Amino acid sequence: MTATRLGKTATLVVAASAWVAAGWFLWQTTVPGDLDPPHVDPHRFWSDHTLHRAAHFDGFLGWLLVVALLAQLAALVVLVPLGPRIARAWELGRVATGVMVGTVTTLVVWAVGLPFGFVALWWGRRYGIEKESYGAWVLEQWPSLVAQVVGLPTLLTILLLLAGRFGRRWWLVAGPLLAVISFALIFVLPYVLTAGDRKPHHTKLAAQIRGLARKEGVGSTPLRIETASDRTTAANAEAVGIGPSARVVLWDTLLSGRYSAGEIKVVAAHEFGHVARRHIWKGLAWSALLTIPLFFVVEVLTRRRGGMERPEVVPFALLVIAVVNLAVTPFTNAVSRRYEAEADWRALQATHDPASAVKLFRHFGRYDLTDPDPPGWSYVWIDNHPTLAQRIAMAQAWRRLHAIR
């Protein structure tokens, strides 16, 4: 073996070892490894009517998502051989032509997916979950379209420039650069997206929630209330941002009277748990770990068609990215479920109220029609949270561990 080949092999081994070590570190959580949660029979916590209704509602949406994804992949497959023809329609230079090819591809894929979103709205309205009118929903699609038409061409511009500058090694630069851009967006966007959200009123519950934030070591994290009741009855909350932009957002549907103060505190503590355990930071790190090999696969496969620097290859590159993302979805969902489980654990540690946690998860099944025990394929490919049955099992395990009746 030549010295050059030895050097490449050693570099590959070091890089793979570093990847595995980083992945192992990011995989760790504070949930006890020997927790051994009990098996939960959904029929103990939900009526047969609720289970049937939730399975029917959630199952239809799951299959609708599958069909929509297959339709969009089929659109990309059709566009791949049309790439050269689309590219010849523009005479704007290599990078600009590639951007236009990407823009046309994005518009087609977006249009193919639009009817499925309309059907999902119809289904949600039928079950009383969605309240938005069809006209309002159509108008709300334009911001997402603009974001895609702006975002994807920006990404393509970067990739085409890097491919032209660094040749076959463009992916080594693109991965870290995309991580930096993602960091900037995650830092800035919360200031924009939560600008219209209100601060909570000065109530006893708000004071108790602030106390939970301090207990979790993130007392300075802002809490905001988002008005969602005009478009849905579903309850939700989220932690967004990093560093100074980190904040917790509760939907006002949680405050409609259907959920008790204890349940609301469990939700808030869960979201503060995300902040305390730096899950968004870790998500960024996972994104970097996965994006670099993803771009390597794109480089290897597009090289057979002339390389990423060629504008007509853009539809094929987007197809490769879509397929690889689909392939790693079970893994990314597993990571997400692990962090969500840790946030549940943090909420139990902060509130010491497993009864409210169980009540909350039962209400998610009853009010939001979340399937408490979805089929395996849905759990692997779609669900990025533990099942409601698993979350109740954790609350019961916490109660047993702390001997609380």
Tens of pLDDT, residues 288-340: 999 989 999 999 999 888 888 888 999 999 999 999 999 999 999 999 999 99
pTM, entire model: 0.93
Q: Is the pLDDT score of 16 beyond 90?
A: no
How far is CA 388 from each of CA 61, 153, 197, 266, 366, rounded to the nearest angstrom?
A: 17, 39, 28, 14, 11
> Rounded to an integer, what distance in angstroms lies between the CA atom of residue 174 and that of residue 195?
32
Coil vs helix vs strand at 185: helix
* Contacts (Cβ under 8 Å, ≥6 apart) of 161: 95
Q: What is the dihedral of CA 316, 317, 323, 327, to 10 degrees?
A: 150
Q: What pLDDT score was predicted for residue 348? A: 97
Q: Is the pLDDT score of 341 beyond 60?
A: yes
Q: Chain centroid to CA 354: how far?
A: 27
Tens-place pLDDT, residues 242-271 = 999 999 999 999 999 999 999 999 999 999
Residue type, 142: W
> Rounded to an integer, what distance in angstroms lies between the CA atom of residue 171 and that of residue 266?
43
How far is CA 184 from each of CA 158, 178, 191, 242, 376, rounded to the nearest angstrom?
A: 16, 10, 12, 10, 36
Coil vs helix vs strand at 370: coil
Tens-place pLDDT, residues 131-180 = 999 999 988 888 888 887 778 778 888 888 898 888 888 998 998 898 89
* Contacts (Cβ under 8 Å, ≥6 apart) of 372: 42, 45, 46, 51, 54, 361, 365, 387, 388, 389
Rg of the chain (C-alpha set):
23
Q: 89 falls in which pLDDT band (50, 70, 90)?
A: confident
DSSP assignment of 79-124 equals HTTTHHHHHHT--S-HHHHHHHHHHHHHHHHHHHHHHHHHHHHHHH
Backbone angles phi, psi at 110, to 5 degrees: -60, -45
Going by C-alpha positions, the residue among 290, 254, 292, 293 that lies closest to residue 270 is 254
> Rounded to an integer, what distance in angstroms lies between the CA atom of residue 2 and that of residue 9?
11
Mode of pairing for the β-strands spanning 247-251 and 223-226: parallel
Q: Residue 248 forms beta bridges with which residues?
A: 223, 239
Give the residue-averaged pLDDT of 178-204. 92
Give the residue-averaged pLDDT of 32-36. 89
Which two structure tokens, joined as six digits, stand for 7? 């050097």
Which two structure tokens, joined as six digits, stand for 345? 């654990």
